[in-house]
Chain A
Amino acid sequence: MTNEAVFVYSDQLLKYRFSQDHPFNQTRVMLTYDLLKSLNLLNDSSLLSPRIATDEELELVHDPRFIEAVKLAGEGKLSEDRAQGFGIGTEDTPVFPGMHEASALLVGATLSAVDHVMSGKSNHALNLGGGLHHGFRGKASGFCVYNDSSVAIRYMQQKYNVRVLYVDTDAHHGDGVQWTFYDDPNVCTLSIHETGRYLFPGTGNVNERGSGKGYGYTFNIPLDAFTEDDSWLHAYRTSFKEITEYFKPDVIFTQNGVDSHYYDPLTHLSATMRIYREIPKLAHELAHQYCDGRWIAVGGGGYDIWRVVPRAWSLIWLEMIGKSDISGELPKDWINRWQPKAKFALPSYWDDEPTIYPPIPRKAEIEEKNALTVTKALYPIRQK
C-alpha cells in the first residue's frame, strides 16, 4: 500500500553536533518530532529509519580525499594545516568526534527519503536532518560537511534517470547545490534568499544562471534585508510556478531552511510563520500537478530552534498528510515539557502575532526592488 508520506527519523541524527554552543543544533529535529507526536499526527507507521550513506554514494559528489580527511578528523588524526584546506576545524565547521559517521548518516537519511518516493512506496518524504546546502565537492562550509541534497540529486539521476527541480528557501544562498549542477540541464535549481551583499555566502546573484549546457537552469532571487511576508511570498509563488511550468520536472526536491523568520539570529528578512504555512502548500500542489506527487523535502538552516523551527517544520509534515489547516494553540504538554530548557518564552500559538516586530521603514521601496529582481530572474523563460 502506498503511504501518503514518510518521516525520516532517528535520534542518531542528533549526533551531527559541532559543539555545545554552535548555532547549528539538530535538537530542533527532535523538538519537531516531539511536537508532532504531541498532536498525535505522526504515526509510527509513517516513520522511516535512516540508513548511512556509503563512500561510493558520497563520491557521487564529493572528492575521495575530502571524505578521507573528514574520517581522519573525526578520529582526531588530521593536522590543523590539512584540515584548513578542507574547510574543517574552522569556527563554522569545527572538528568533532565521529564527524564522518554523523555527516554520512544525514546524507543516508535523505537517500532513504528519496528511495521511498522514487520506488513508489510513498508520494512524499521528509528528512528534516538534511538540507546541508553549503557543502562543496572538496570542502566543508557554512555548518555543512557533506551535501546530502547534491548527493541525493545525483543519486536520483543515476538510479532513476529523472529530471529534478531543487527549490531552496533557506535565507542563505544554496551555493553548494547550485555549483554542483551549474552545467547540468537536467537539474534546475531555484534559490530564494537574502541578498549576499552582506550575508553569507555572498553569492546567489540574479545573473548566476548556469554555464554551458546548464545555462538557463539556475535561478536566483536575492531579496533585500527586511523583505517581510508579502514580498517574500510574491517572489516565491511567482518564481516557483513559472519555473515548474518551464522545466516540467519529474520530481520536486525542496530545501526548507527556516531562518528567514524575524526571530532568526543570523539573518534579516523579517518573515513570520505565514511564509512557513505557504511554502509547503505550493510545493505540495505543484508536485501533484506536475510530478505525480513526487516531493522530497529536507530541512536546512534555522537558528531559533525554540520559537521558530518546531512550528515551521511541523507545518511541512502536516501539509504532506493533509492536516495543514491546524491553527490556534500549540499543545500544552509540549510547551510544558520544553519551556524549562528553552532560552526564550515558547510561543503559545501556531501563528505569530502581527506585533512581533515594529513596522519597517521603506517597505514600498523594498517591495518594488524585490519585484524587479523577480522579473530579472524570470526574464529568460518569459521570452520563450
Chain B
Amino acid sequence: MIIEEIMKKNVITLAPNDTIATAIKLMDENKIRHIPIVDVNQHVIGLISDRDLRDAKPSILDFTNHDKKLDTKIKEIMVRNVITGHPLDFVEEVSAIFYENRIGCLPIESNGKLVGIITETDLLHTFVQLTGANQPGTQLEVKVPNRTGTLADVINVIKEHNVNIHSVLVYPDKDSQYKILVLRVQTMNPNKIVEHLTNEGYAVMWPHSSGIRS
C-alpha cells in the first residue's frame, strides 16, 4: 500500500507571516495537531505542532496581558527542517520514519509542492484495517515451523471449511525455528478448523483447546 491511498489531500496550511493566534484558532476549529507552513509555491518551509503552540502560549498561572505575544509571526517559532514524504512511499517505510524520527505527522510533497499529509493516527488506522479487525471475524493464532509452504498448508485447511480469510499476519516467534500465524477468519464457529489444525499437528494457541468440548 502506498501513502497516496491513505493520505489526507485537503491540507490546512498557513503562511510564515500568519500569527500564532491564527494557528491556535485553526487547530481548535479543525481539531488538528499539526499545520504545515508553505510559501507562495505551496512548498513546505516549516511546520508547527500543538506542542509548539503550547510552548508559545503564556502560562495559565500568569495573569498579565499577553495578547501582543500571540500576534507574533509563525515563522518565529516554526520548525524548519521538516521531514517530508512522497505519495509513492510505502506505508511500511513511512511507519519506520515516524518511529525513527519520533514525529507525529509527515507532509507529503510531489514536485516540491504540498499534496497531502499523514498523521500517526492515520497510520494506526491503516494498520487496523490491514489486520482486518474492523470486519466481523474470529482470530486464530497458530504456532508453525518456520518452513517453506507451511502458510499454504494452514490456509488449505481453512479453505476446506469454506471459510473466508480477512487477513493474515506472520509474526516471528521467540524461537526462530517457529512463526506465529495470526489469521482473522470470517466465521463465528472456529471449532472445526481448530480441531482440524490440531489433528494435522499444528499448535493452535488461541482459541484455547480447553475451551472446546465435544
Contact = CB atoms under 8 A, between A and B. Distances in A.
Interface residues on A, range: 20 to 34
Contacts, number: 65
B33 to A, nearest CB: 19
**Most B C-beta atoms less than 10 A away, residue of A134, A143, A199, A200:** A200
A265 B188 contact: no
A197 B139 contact: yes
A267 B136 CA distance: 16
B211 A23 contact: no
**Most B C-beta atoms less than 10 A away, residue of A172, A198, A203:** A198
Interface in B180-195: 184, 186-189, 191
A74 interface: no
Interface string A79-112: 0000010000011100000000000000000000
Nearest to A175: B136
A216 interface: no
Interface string B106-138: 000000000000000000000000000111111
**Most A C-beta atoms less than 10 A away, residue of B139, B140, B211:** B211
Given A23-B189, A142-B188, A265 B138 contact: no
Contact of A198 (B134, B161, B163, B206): B206
B137 A91 contact: no
A200 B161 contact: no
Contacts of B187: 90-92, 200
Binding site of A, secondary structure by majority: helix, strand, loop or mixed?
Answer: loop
B147 interface: no
A200 B211 contact: no
A142 B136 contact: yes
A47 interface: no
A76 interface: no
B211 to A, nearest CB: 5
Contact of B139 (A92, A141, A202, A265): A202
B163 A90 contact: yes
A265 B191 contact: yes
B212 interface: yes
Given A23-B189, A92-B187, A202-B184, A265 B213 contact: yes
Contacts of A201: 136-137, 188
A91 B165 CA distance: 12
B136 A268 contact: no
A201 B141 CA distance: 16
B145 interface: no
Contacts of A268: 207-208, 211
Contacts of B189: 23, 91-92, 266
Given A91-B163, A198-B206, A202-B136, A172 B188 contact: yes
A263 interface: yes
B162 interface: yes
Contacts of A142: 136, 188
Given A172-B188, A198-B207, A265 B136 contact: no
Interface string A151-176: 00000000000000000000010010
Contacts of A141: 136
A198 B191 CA distance: 13
Interface in B35-79: none
B188 A203 contact: no
A142 B136 CA distance: 8
A90 B162 contact: yes
B135 to A, nearest CB: 7
B164 interface: yes
Contact of B188 (A84, A198, A266): A266
Given A143-B188, A265-B191, A199 B162 contact: no
Nearest to A304: B213
A332 to B, nearest CB: 26
Nearest to A136: B136
A200 B136 CA distance: 6
